A and B are shown apart, each in its own frame.
Chain A
Amino acid sequence: MTITWENIKEGDIIPELKKNPGVSQLVKYAAGSGDFNPLHHDFNFFQAKAIGSIIVHGRFKYATLGECVSNWMGHVGHIKKISCQYRGMDFPDKEITCKGTIERKWEENGEKLVELSVWTENDEGKNTTPGSIIVSFNN
């Protein structure tokens, strides 16, 4: 079903998106983004040794928050602003769940806008990537 701005209510929860990136997915992300920081694929890298593991790219999580909202919205609008902070490390082969709720819905200069609070949760339910996304709807 297509989402319409009219039907969205503050407090609504959007469908969550589950990710479980293993080393192969992180390598694909490294190739796609060009971020070859060894901390994300080389267990022998000094920082990975100190941490005890390689870690998921912060920007992979940033991207999945965008994917989660894009999946929900379909193509009836576009993302105007997307931000997040990397507060906690995530590790390969651990489930990451992207979540989002509608914080605010308003009109400005004829634009139909929605602000979502978004975040990722690790497999222990801890919020490791709090963020915010503003969406503009065409319908």
Chain B
Amino acid sequence: MADNFEITEEMKAQIGWTSSPWSYEVTRTSVRAFARGVGYTDLVYYDVESARKAGYRDLPAPTTYLGTAIFIPGQSDDFLPFAPGSHPSVDHGLPGLLDGGTETEYFGDICAGDTLTCVNKLDDLFTKESKGLGTMLIMSSESTYTNQDGKVVAVQRSQAIFY
């Protein structure tokens, strides 16, 4: 918990930071694992035949699937589902982390077999006071997902809270 936390000029200079693009493969196995993690019982997320009968090209990505991990040892965070190089290093020194909120907007469908290219941008940094947690640093970022045909299929905006 921080009582006197302030955003420094160095941190502010990171606003607008944009990652290099990374490849994000949507696979049948990853769609099934995500659907199982949530507890979906609809077979379209597990069985290709059921998915095609319902009008999908292949197993559809469940609606909050984007943001699942790309893990490369030595390059990714050990715990958080961030692709290597997808997040800026903001040296804030706050140990606690909570998720603030998520918004995903779709411009096309996403199914198993798609390879998306993703770019993440640090949109904003600001502080907020919390009774229980002291001064919190809010980091908002925006990830853009483009599919193999060059179409932007989704934009996801997230807020991370550090305290």
Contact = CB atoms under 8 A, between A and B. Distances in A.
A25 B42 CA distance: 17
A75 B38 contact: no
Contacts of A64: 38-39
Contacts of A46: 95
Contact of A81 (B54, B96, B106): B106
B81 A33 contact: yes
Contacts, number: 114
A59 B36 contact: no
A92 interface: no
Contact of A37 (B63, B79, B95): B79
A28 B36 contact: yes
Nearest to A27: B37
Number of chain A interface residues as a range? 35 or more
A63 interface: yes
Contacts of B68: 32-34
Contacts of B101: 58, 83-86
B44 interface: yes
B105 A81 contact: yes
Contact of B63 (A34, A79, A85): A79
B103 A83 contact: yes
Interface of B: 30, 33-40, 42, 44, 54-56, 62-64, 67-71, 78-81, 95-106, 109, 157, 159
